[in-house]
Chain A
Amino acid sequence: MAASPKAGTLDVNKIRADFPILDVEVQPGVKLVYLDSGASSQKPVQVIEAMDRYYRHENSNIHRGVHTLAENATEAYEIARGKVAKFINAAKPREIVFTRNATEAVNLVAFSWGRANLKEGDLVVLTEMEHHANLVPWQMLAAEKGIRLEFIPVTEDGLLDMAALPDLLAQKPKLVGFTAMSNVLGTITPAAEIVRLAHEAGALALIDGAQSVPHMPTDVQALDVDFLVFSSHKMLGPTGLGVLYGKLALLEAMPPFLGGGDMIKRVELRSFTANEVPQKFEAGTPAIAEVIGLGAAVDYLNAVGMDAIAAHDHELTAYALERLEEVPGVRIFGPSADHKSSNASFTFEGAHPHDVAEILNRHGVATRAGHHCAMPLHNKFGIPSTTRASFYLYNTKQEIDQLVEALYKVKEIFG
């Protein structure tokens, strides 16, 4: 099958040149085909160099310092916060709270907002396709406070069953939390509609944007969402850093999360006064180099263009579905290409996903096997695990062809 290195409007060859790791030979003579960006994306030199520059020339703790390095580091940190705010069209940089990852951002909301605002019997609505990150924190709160959890079901074809939402909303939930893009099914959920319906029912809305923010444009004001969480490392930035967006009034009304330095205005021996948002939620020395790296990642994504990236990722996904369907024994999960992007999860008749991923790896193709931190969703489909190929701006149709060729080798081994 002929496929051009260009997909959509991106100059993929030019982009690939910015990612040194794509030249790595995973085994002698076998070049890396990286189809695991859903787990963590690769990083362009621009991001690596921004962090390197910081450590070489600017390294210092931020806030409270009056020396030049401390001032420069503080400024660079806050500039990056502004870039992230703009990237998702937050009204103010103060609405951006840096956390360790998307997971910690959900925990922050559950711990701080949840404990202050939810009482026994209150309802939180989630979906059956949530990553454990947007499930377990609420289960922990349910165990602690006796709140109730209900779930928007997932249909056979991998969509949210929106017909079930009115009944759930009639029970007056306090919060509706859902993923904007499934990390297993690739499903793009109707986020704006769910937020609107949640608000009409008097609930707040939280979006897990860990997969959607890297792959499509995000506008928190247009969505009118109350909380949005995402991770730096899935959007070309470094690990160890996540983002919580929250509407300012909500963040201001919330009690602190972790206690310690930087999150306080005054401390007495037996009491403290919390700092302003966002410092109130950023106790201790933050991931300064990583925040600066994320700022560089956002610059990179903006320069390529999120619309172009979304189109590219969608085109690759559609192509992957088409090619995978040709392979005998492959069963793909999730909706048709119209409703999904960025990944394709599948099983292979007669071969366990872990074996499939292992054999693909011998051909340089990096995929992920397992439950992808969505065990309830896999249970729903009656399978313990899947193999997932996930795509990003540096991937090409040839790489998907290589994936498919390698899948035929699985067939040779497992017959």
Chain B
Amino acid sequence: MDDLYREVIIDRYQNPRFRGELDPHDYSYQDDNPVCGDHVRIDLRVDESETVTEAKFSGDGCSISQASADLLVEKITGMKLEDVRKLGKADILEMLGIELGPVRLKCALLSLKVLKGGVYGLDDVMTLDELAAS
């Protein structure tokens, strides 16, 4: 019945594959979406060739924010950091396979913002509004 609540979204929300924390980790970052109180943290381990060997997310929030984090963490596992840095809004939308209005778009992009915060460091990260408009 529903294009937004595709099976993959509900499935990932209810049975996330990559929920957890990594200790120790090489990168860890967390952030909130104040609009609906979504919270996402992502922990990464990378090897000497700067490839993500393991990634986990934790937090709470709506199905879109949490499913997006689970899918994103899966996607970046095995990726080189330089490729992770190139990920953008279009990749997230393609990954989710749904159309999103302006409010839910921010739910979906929170995990990307967190990931970028982790791998770029704080200074270089776009706000959720900027990401949504990118």
Using CB atoms and an 8 Å cutoff, list the residues of chain A in contact with chain B.
350-355, 358-359, 362, 369-371, 384-385, 413-415
Residues from chain A with Cβ under 8 Å of B5 in the complex: 355, 359, 413
- For this complex, 9 residue pairs linking A to B, each with C-beta atoms less than 8 Å apart, are A352-B61, A354-B38, A355-B5, A358-B4, A362-B2, A370-B36, A385-B37, A414-B63, A415-B14
B99 proximal to A (CB < 8 A) = no
B37 near A370: Cβ-Cβ < 8 Å = yes
CB distance from B74 to the nearest CB of A (A): 21
Once the chains are docked, how many angstroms separate the CA of A359 from the CA of B36?
15
From the candidates B1, B2, B10, B36, name the one contacting A354 in the complex (CB within 8 A): B36
User: Once A and B bind, how many residue pairs between them come within 8 Å at the CB atom?
Assistant: 44
A352 near B10: Cβ-Cβ < 8 Å = no
A413 near B39: Cβ-Cβ < 8 Å = no
A371 near B104: Cβ-Cβ < 8 Å = no
Residues from chain B with Cβ under 8 Å of A359 in the complex: 5
B35 near A352: Cβ-Cβ < 8 Å = no
Using CB atoms and an 8 Å cutoff, list the residues of chain B in contact with chain A.
1-2, 4-5, 10, 14, 35-39, 60-64, 104, 107
B39 near A352: Cβ-Cβ < 8 Å = no
A384 near B37: Cβ-Cβ < 8 Å = yes
Q: Given the interface contacts A352-B61, A352-B63, A355-B62, does A369 sit within 8 Å of B36 by beta carbon? A: yes
Residues from chain B with Cβ under 8 Å of A358 in the complex: 4, 62, 104
CB distance from B129 to the nearest CB of A (A): 17
A414 near B36: Cβ-Cβ < 8 Å = no
Q: Given the interface contacts A354-B62, A355-B62, A358-B104, does A413 sit within 8 Å of B2 by beta carbon? A: yes
CB distance from A87 to the nearest CB of B (A): 34
Complex: chain A residue closest to B61, CB-CB:
A352
9 more A-B residue pairs beyond the given contacts A370-B35, A370-B37, with a C-beta to C-beta distance below 8 A: A352-B60, A353-B62, A355-B62, A358-B62, A370-B36, A384-B39, A385-B36, A413-B2, A414-B63
CB distance from A27 to the nearest CB of B (A): 12
From the candidates B10, B36, B61, B107, name the one contacting A413 in the complex (CB within 8 A): B10
CB distance from A184 to the nearest CB of B (A): 13
Residues from chain A with Cβ under 8 Å of B35 in the complex: 370
From the candidates A351, A353, A362, A415, name the one contacting B36 in the complex (CB within 8 A): A353
Q: Given the interface contacts A352-B61, A414-B10, does A371 sit within 8 Å of B37 by beta carbon? A: yes
Residues from chain A with Cβ under 8 Å of B60 in the complex: 352, 384
CB distance from B51 to the nearest CB of A (A): 33
Q: Which of B36, B39, B104 has most chain A Cβ within 10 Å?
A: B36
